[in-house]
Amino acid sequence: MIDLGFIRDHPQQIQKAAKDKSIDIDVEKIIAVDLNYRKVNYDIQNIREDRNLLNEQIKKEGKPTEEQLKSAELLKKNLKEKEDSAKKYEEDLRKLWLEIPNPAKSDVKVGKDESDNEIIENRKYKEPTKFDFKPKDHLELGEFLDVIDVKNAAKVSGTRFAYLKNEGVLLEFALIQLALEVLTKEGFIPIVPPVLINQEITEGLGYWQAGGNEDYYLVGEPQENKNFYLAGTAEHSIVPMYKDEILDKKDLPKRYVGFSSAFRREAGTYGKDTRGILRVHQFDKVEMVSFVTEDQDDKEHEYLLSLEEKLFQLLEIPYQVVKMCTGDLGFPVARKFDLEAWMPGQNKYREITSTSTTTDFQSRRLNIKYYNDNGEKKFVHILNGTAFAIGRTIISILENYQQKDGSVLIPKILQKYLHFEKITPKK
């Protein structure tokens, strides 16, 4: 949510920012509704003042006259009409207000879609892995080693589901241990959040605006008005945990590392990446969330990105960093970086983690503030970043560490959590 005063003062800037994200809004309509809302509230204030004066006059005189009774009735009627109008304007204003996306930061390139994203050349790590044999993709390796089973999962749950088995399961928990070890040493608070989110909370996150709700699962009892969304990432339930609270500046930055399962419909990706576990409906993630002051925003975003890079450097997986253009940013996102790992089985880089700042957009909608040094209440800035999307990280390990015989070596950094150094075919 954008500060309404800023919208009034910079309507053209807000209109352009939405257009840069390929989102249609009508700022002039918002300003008109806001003006009407303020006018009717001014009228309400005047009517209440007139009513108070009349009540004081009647109290002083001891008994109301016929004329005073008529005036009181008329004021009551006018007040009811104005309050009804104010309620309607307020509802309309909030609806329009919530449809305004978070403007991109000034350093973000204006672009139409992912084809306009920028590869940050000086942040590439290692050259793409080369083999003296034709590399297999992760599904071929996973089935050969009996660590991934999509065929039986399809019988139970349908397409885009998978069983992770044997060493694949142990590899997942080794990755979780690595992420928790690295991040808790950095001061992140570990947390396992709920994966069911009240529907009303999702409005504050902003991911469900502009048709984004189509990508998430709605569950519950509609007739009892107890609807929930399944979390698409741990951040969806970590961010709103401080709804309607005021934090102390001395406690900021406040950082969390959360583990949870995540659920996505993958709407709009029909027929895309259907092979294996690259794009599935259920997956596990280790996610970072930061609550910071406004002046810490850019520094914190760089910090989260550096942690993502550190984790994949520990795994020794080749990657590149990509900065999203405006057209590839989500509704609440002001800046976003993707870390793309090299996938030999596909002979290309693929997104494996991302980190975003939503500035004070989500905190305004969720009413999360802090006291600054002058005792003033300010909205916090909220950032998020993926430590490990487990499935995609396992893909990158299988494909980059595969051997000619189909076995897969375990990255050295993970071996301390495991009782094996290589995944081999089952006999």
Express each pLDDT in 41-87 by its tens digit. 999 999 999 999 999 998 888 888 989 999 999 999 999 999 999 99
Q: What are phi and psi of 59, to 5 degrees?
A: -65, -40
pLDDT digits (tens, 9 = 90+) for 165-199: 999 999 999 999 999 999 999 999 999 999 999 88
CB 292 within 8 A of CB 300: yes
Dihedral angle at the C-alpha atoms of 159, 163, 164, 167, nearest 10 degrees? -140
How far from 221 is each of 197, 199, 225, 281, CA to CA, in Å?
Answer: 13, 11, 6, 22
**DSSP code, position 102:** P
Beta-carbon contacts of 400 under 8 Å, excluding residues fewer than 6 positions away, are 129, 317, 318, 341, 342, 343, 344
Candidate from 248-257, 267-276, 293-302, 306-315 with smallest mean pLDDT: 267-276
Beta pairing class for 246-248 and 218-221 = unpaired
Q: Residue for token digits 């973000």?
A: 108
State the Cα–Cα distance between residues 205 and 332, nearest whole angstrom.
8
* Residue environment code for 179-200, b if the CB has 16+ CB neighbours within 10 A, otherwise e: bbebbeeeebeebebebebebe
- How far from the centroid of its chain's Cα atoms is residue 414's Cα? 29
pLDDT digits (tens, 9 = 90+) for 195-218: 999 888 888 898 877 656 677 888
pTM of the model: 0.91
How far from 318 is each of 114, 140, 343, 349, CA to CA, in Å?
Answer: 21, 21, 9, 9
**DSSP code, position 324:** P
pLDDT of residue 379: 97
State the Cα–Cα distance between residues 204 and 209, nearest whole angstrom.
10
The alpha carbons of the chain give a radius of gyration, in whole angstroms, of: 27
pLDDT of residue 399: 97
Beta-carbon contacts of 108 under 8 Å, excluding residues fewer than 6 positions away, are 323, 324, 325, 326, 329, 334, 335
Work out the pLDDT band at 1, boundaries 50, 70, 90.
Answer: confident
H or E element that contains 285: strand 282-292
Domain boundaries, the chain: 4-98, 114-423
Beta pairing class for 148-149 and 335-343 = unpaired
Structure token pair of residue 222: 């509609």
pLDDT of residue 271: 61
pLDDT digits (tens, 9 = 90+) for 3-31: 899 999 999 999 999 999 999 999 999 99
pLDDT of residue 211: 59
Q: What percent of the chain has pLDDT over 90?
A: 82
Going by C-alpha positions, the residue among 406, 188, 412, 415 that lies closest to residue 308 is: 188
pLDDT digits (tens, 9 = 90+) for 404-422: 999 999 999 999 999 999 9
pLDDT digits (tens, 9 = 90+) for 334-381: 999 999 999 999 999 999 999 999 999 999 999 999 998 888 999 999
Annotate 353-418 with DSSP letters as a single string: EEEEE-TTHHHHHHT-EEE-TTS-EEEPEEEEEEEEEHHHHHHHHHHHSB-TTS-EEPPHHHHTTS
Q: Is the pLDDT assigned to residue 223 strictly greater than 90? A: no
Give the type of residue at 67: E
Quickly name the fold that domain 114-423 has.
BirA Bifunctional Protein; domain 2 (3.30.930)
| Highest CATH level, class, for 4-98 | mainly alpha
Q: What are phi and psi of 68, to 5 degrees?
A: -65, -40
pLDDT of residue 222: 59
